[in-house]
Structure 1
Amino acid sequence: MSETALRTAAARTRELSLLMTRWPSVTGSPDEAAFSERLAAHLAATPYFQRHPDQLLTVDSHGEPLTRNVVALVRGKGRRTVVLAGHFDTVSIANYGTLAPLACDPEPLTQALLAELRSRPLNGAEAKALEDFESGDFIAGRGLLDMKSGLAAGIAVLERFAGRDAPEGNLLFVATPDEENRSRGMRSLRDALPEIARRFDLDIVGGINLDASSCERNGEEGRAVYLGSIGKFAPFAFVIGRPTHAGYPFNGTSAHRISAEIVRAMDTVPELSDEAFGERSPPPVCLEARDIRDGYDVTTPDRVWLSFNWLTHRRSASDIIGEFRAIVSGALQAALETQDAHAARYRGAAAASTDGLVLTYAELLERVEARGGAAALARLDALDRSLSGGTDPLKVSREIVSAAATEAGIEGPAVIVGFGSLHYPLVHLEHSDAGNMQAKLQRVMEDAAGRHGTSIKFKQIFAGISDMSFFGHRPEAREAGLLAANTPSAAVTDNAPEGLLAFPTVNIGPWGRDYHQKWERVHAPYTFEVLPDLVFEAARAWLGE
């Protein structure tokens, strides 16, 4: 093991991390589109790609605004190839307030945050941030942790590999936009990968995602190799009541009462979490609850929209839609029975029995077509296209479902259920043909930990949704069809083509604290020194060196 190679990779990782953080790239901004041009130009100026310019290319992303993936291949011997992947878009810099002009300049920002923290009383999170910055081990910057330092480690590994004499296998580095929104970058790269593999005669055997993790303690949980990434569903319930004047509450059906029962039955219910791989997923939470009206009046709301975030370790799309429909049906019945009982007590009469209806979005579209024909479906498609450039998928879905319910002439009480935004599939090394890769990684981790005097552990599931869900994953056709049929907007439907490549992936990235927040900071010693060494040796193990 060359100490010089380790020092060079560490210095290069730090240099590239700070450089790329100074290139702003907020999701959806012109800066995001410009970043890929800057990165491609930077790589093109390096010695290897000056000699092999045909092995550096860009791939257009899906949708608008147009952004591009950067793809860089370093060849060795044979066809076996490992892909190193990371995203370059970041969340907004707005939460830096008056320090926003420094948000993408790590070293001045770190000093400015130190000065601010030392100037006033602190809450717990701020006190921890001050302690970290004063230690000298942490550096701030929007996107430095999530995840330009991961990209930097990948480029340093690529350059170290290029400097070897006829290395075994090949490394393909990819930098993608739009992970923070709809993973348009990774999904477009995934779709293009079969042709890239054919063009360069590559056999892609594995992938390393370079995304960041967080640890609030001593870093033990952050120094990790993740064997999988969590699955995410966004089920919605569009509640249709029977509006009535507030002075006559029992002449209608309250959409709010129905929605409240649905939230009660879903939100943070532990039994709705998954256990798999020795870990437990969080239970679902309600992300949105709002009635669909613009002004004030004293009529009970006609329509209420609910959207949930449901993270999974094992449930499939068919599991989710079936279970969610059953929960919503039970909640609807409970709400109607309660209101009927209240009306009976108020009026001193026998209780009535109000019936309700639950439909999936696919079933709603069948009613739209039966009532309005192809013209009604065309109006919904036109509405979807007019809204597809927005950055809020739940708003788009809400407006389409509302229009579809009107087209179908649905009268309440009723609830429409479906999926409001992009599904992120659960992926795990166990589900792929990885052979004895975990055992090889274990040896790599132990050796790297010994060299650097630290610890590195396996973790089963990366808890934040990530591009890893689409990286080397080939969706099952039946599940993809069910999702597409019940997702109102085509813009948040993953229309995966046939012939995709499937290969095992893991996540090996930097660690730090408070990503997406004002105090976002990366742990420099691990990220700049250990990470590029760990990724390099993991790639070599996968390539069979």
Structure 2
Amino acid sequence: MKWNTPESLEDLLCEVVGWDSRTGTEGEIEFATRILKKILEMHYFQENSSHIHFHDAGKGRNAVTAYYDSGVTNKTIVLISHFDTVHIEEFGGLEELAFNPSALTEELKKRITDLPEDVQADLKSNDYLFGRGTMDMKMGLVLHLHLLEKASIEKWPINLLLLTVPDEEVNSSGMRASVKGLLELRAEYGLQYELFLNGEPSFSQKPQDTNYYIYSGSIGKIMPSALFYGRETHAGEPLSGITGHYMASYLTKAMEFNPHFVEEEYGEKTPLPVCLQEIDLKEDYSVQTSHHTAALYNVFLMRQNADDIMTIFKHTAVNAMAECTNDYKAICEREGVTPIGDIRVLEYTELLEYAIKKLGATEVEGIIKNAEADDSFDERKMSMQITDDLMRICQELAPATILFYAPPYYPAVNSSNNELVRDKIALTKRVLKEEFNVNATQVHYFNGISDLSYVNYDSADTGWQSFKNNTPVWGDTYSIPFTEMQQLQSPVMNIGPFGKDAHKLTERLHKESAFKYTPFVLTKVIESMFAEVKA
């Protein structure tokens, strides 16, 4: 076998990390072809090249699937990974070494005194390999290539479907596009998906955490957002209008660290919400006040859906704008000025309906398409711009706060109560302890956000309609295949290598975890399903 020793796995990782595939770059586009060639080094796929498929993820990018057919069953394990990485600005003068793990690790040793104490200790131990993508998450892909090769040579009596995708780090375009591909492959080959097994690394739960974690679910993330559309005025007559910034300050204060959004399941809690971005939509400087701003808020999920979050968000916004209105009126009364009126709170879908009644569907569609045609906008800026453009033609609604959703949305997923997952978690813990004296801990929701969010979606849930109705770019530049996801009803797990400092200069992978005990335990987990296949 080509990739069956610690040394060969390390060599393969260094090669794959060397393929710079930062999200949104040419390298990300080229990666699919490169990994295709690597898969074709396996004898099985030289004879069965038709089992490799590309799945269009937009902007020239492709997800890649490679299907090993055991020939004895339709039961299949789907191995999920992503091959894009975040960017490398924080590397500074070391950017040229960011994708060369061996050279970067040696160079960091020369600069060891400039680094935090925990990083110094790891460098001195020689137990870690540094580099962008070593931990997050090209080692997961390498492990899945190892399993695919091993299965094809040893003729494992269970099917494996490797799926590796682009753009996990920004919008998960690769995984969202792959949902349709998974359904098509299931139909084409008559497959029964038994388990979705991701290879994201073991993420620390807090700073300096060195525990090894295995996961039976993945946390959700959603971005409730708001456009604050006030009334412009001259700075010399400030109370003749109301600024978007003034309005935004009330909702941001109400949203940040708000415990009403926090969930707790299995003794785990979601982090508190925070504002990720606030933008002034006034394009230039003048003494006219800025009457329109927008803010994006981050909310994590476990059991709640988009409809649940919008309900809490709207309640929060109504109270915040009532407080803002009352304070503004009190100031106007103090200064002897007539206030401009109360602040409305509307959902985007309400604004859209109002605009269509006023202008007609064709003109409103043109306004939306015009904003989406601007190549300088990402999906978040497009969402703000569309909402702002609609308010510009409906200024009679001002002052108003318009609530909408901005991409991306990662629904939470959890299989902690699934019998198969409980059994494999117990097996993983036992093997790691007995073979390597490693104590593994189960986490019910992977805290790093993952592509598992797009499988095993609750088949009875309809709360996603609130996201569809309140996302300005829905159906054009961004969508989520909820109904297709509801057809992928199989449990999820995540077993990956241990590492530290994802998305940092000091991102690093624990070598023994990556090259010895994680491949060993993954093999044992899959082998344990052989008997279940025959049953």
Relative distance call for 1:219 and 1:331 in structure 2 (3 A) is closer
Amino acid at match of 1:145: M
Q: 1:25: which partner in 2? A: 21
Match of 1:131 among 109, 121, 126: 121
CA root-mean-square deviation: 2.3
- Between the aligned partners of 1:293 and 1:58, the Cα distance in structure 2 is 43
Q: 1:509: which partner in 2? A: 496
Q: CA deviation at 1:220?
A: 4.5
Q: 1:532: which partner in 2? A: 519
- Between the aligned partners of 2:126 and 2:137, the Cα distance in structure 1 is 20
- Between the aligned partners of 1:282 and 1:299, the Cα distance in structure 2 is 38
8 Å Cα contact 2:3-2:12 kept in structure 1: no
Amino acid at match of 2:352: L
Counterparts in 2 of 1:400-419, with a 5 A limit?
400-419=386-405
Relative distance call for 1:220 and 1:113 in structure 2 (3 A) is closer
Q: 2:65: which partner in 1? A: 71
Amino acid at match of 2:16: M
- Between the aligned partners of 1:286 and 1:294, the Cα distance in structure 2 is 22
Identity of aligned residues (%): 28
Q: CA deviation at 1:411?
A: 3.7
Amino acid at match of 2:117: A
Q: 1:175: which partner in 2? A: 164
- Between the aligned partners of 1:262 and 1:385, the Cα distance in structure 2 is 27
Relative distance call for 1:476 and 1:91 in structure 2 (3 A) is farther
Deviations 1:286-307 (A, max 9, x none): 0112221122222322111111
- Between the aligned partners of 1:298 and 1:530, the Cα distance in structure 2 is 64
Counterparts in 2 of 1:365-376, with a 5 A limit?
365-376=352-363
Counterparts in 2 of 1:73-472, with a 5 A limit?
73-76=67-70, 77-118=72-113, 120=114, 122=115, 126-164=116-154, 166-215=155-204, 220-221=210-211, 223-347=212-336, 354-387=341-374, 392-430=378-416, 434-472=418-456
Q: 1:481: which partner in 2? A: 465
Relative distance call for 1:531 and 1:32 in structure 2 (3 A) is same
Relative distance call for 1:474 and 1:210 in structure 2 (3 A) is same
Normalising by structure 1, what TM-score?
Answer: 0.91
- Between the aligned partners of 1:198 and 1:255, the Cα distance in structure 2 is 52
Q: CA deviation at 1:324?
A: 0.5
Other structure's SS at 2:341 match = coil
8 Å Cα contact 1:372-1:408 kept in structure 2: no
Q: CA deviation at 1:318?
A: 0.9
Number of matched residues?
527
Q: CA deviation at 1:213?
A: 3.1
Amino acid at match of 1:372: L
Q: 2:33: which partner in 1? A: 37
- Between the aligned partners of 1:262 and 1:105, the Cα distance in structure 2 is 45
Q: CA deviation at 1:430?
A: 4.1
8 Å Cα contact 1:337-1:354 kept in structure 2: no
Q: CA deviation at 1:11?
A: 3.5
8 Å Cα contact 1:242-1:411 kept in structure 2: no
8 Å Cα contact 1:13-1:532 kept in structure 2: no
Deviations 1:344-400 (A, max 9, x none): 2233x9x9693221111111110110111022222133224414x567322121111
8 Å Cα contact 2:372-2:382 kept in structure 1: no
- Between the aligned partners of 1:6 and 1:274, the Cα distance in structure 2 is 46
Relative distance call for 1:218 and 1:407 in structure 2 (3 A) is closer
Amino acid at match of 2:43: P
Q: CA deviation at 1:8?
A: 2.7
- Between the aligned partners of 1:413 and 1:306, the Cα distance in structure 2 is 16
Amino acid at match of 1:35: F
8 Å Cα contact 1:312-1:426 kept in structure 2: yes
Q: 2:48: which partner in 1? A: 52
- Between the aligned partners of 1:478 and 1:86, the Cα distance in structure 2 is 28
Name which of structure 1's ranges 135-144 and 89-98 shifts more when overlaid on structure 2: 89-98
- Between the aligned partners of 1:489 and 1:213, the Cα distance in structure 2 is 34
Normalising by structure 2, what TM-score?
Answer: 0.93
Unaligned stretches of 5+ residues in structure 2: none
Q: Does 1:494 align with 2:480?
A: yes
- Between the aligned partners of 2:396 and 2:6, the Cα distance in structure 1 is 62
Name which of structure 1's ranges 96-105 and 495-504 shifts more when overlaid on structure 2: 495-504
Amino acid at match of 1:443: L
Q: CA deviation at 1:151?
A: 0.7
Amino acid at match of 1:204: Y
Amino acid at match of 2:392: T
8 Å Cα contact 1:422-1:494 kept in structure 2: no
Other structure's SS at 1:501 match = coil
Unaligned stretches of 5+ residues in structure 1: none
Other structure's SS at 1:70 match = strand
Amino acid at match of 1:70: V
Relative distance call for 1:455 and 1:114 in structure 2 (3 A) is same
- Between the aligned partners of 2:341 and 2:377, the Cα distance in structure 1 is 39
- Between the aligned partners of 2:280 and 2:459, the Cα distance in structure 1 is 35
Amino acid at match of 1:279: E
Name which of structure 1's ranges 494-503 and 151-160 shifts more when overlaid on structure 2: 494-503
Q: CA deviation at 1:186?
A: 1.0
8 Å Cα contact 2:305-2:464 kept in structure 1: no
- Between the aligned partners of 1:469 and 1:384, the Cα distance in structure 2 is 29
Amino acid at match of 2:528: A
Amino acid at match of 2:445: I
8 Å Cα contact 1:211-1:508 kept in structure 2: yes
Other structure's SS at 1:8 match = coil
Q: CA deviation at 1:476?
A: 5.5
- Between the aligned partners of 1:93 and 1:19, the Cα distance in structure 2 is 18
Q: CA deviation at 1:168?
A: 2.4
Amino acid at match of 1:46: M
Amino acid at match of 2:89: A
8 Å Cα contact 2:294-2:384 kept in structure 1: yes
Amino acid at match of 2:389: A
- Between the aligned partners of 1:368 and 1:391, the Cα distance in structure 2 is 23
Relative distance call for 1:400 and 1:99 in structure 2 (3 A) is same
Deviations 1:33-71 (A, max 9, x none): 11111111111122221232222222222x3x1211221
Other structure's SS at 2:21 match = coil
Amino acid at match of 2:363: A
Counterparts in 2 of 1:8-19, with a 5 A limit?
8-19=4-15
- Between the aligned partners of 2:87 and 2:236, the Cα distance in structure 1 is 46
- Between the aligned partners of 2:152 and 2:507, the Cα distance in structure 1 is 32
Relative distance call for 1:326 and 1:175 in structure 2 (3 A) is same
Deviations 1:290-333 (A, max 9, x none): 22112222232211111100111222111111111111111111
- Between the aligned partners of 1:145 and 1:193, the Cα distance in structure 2 is 26
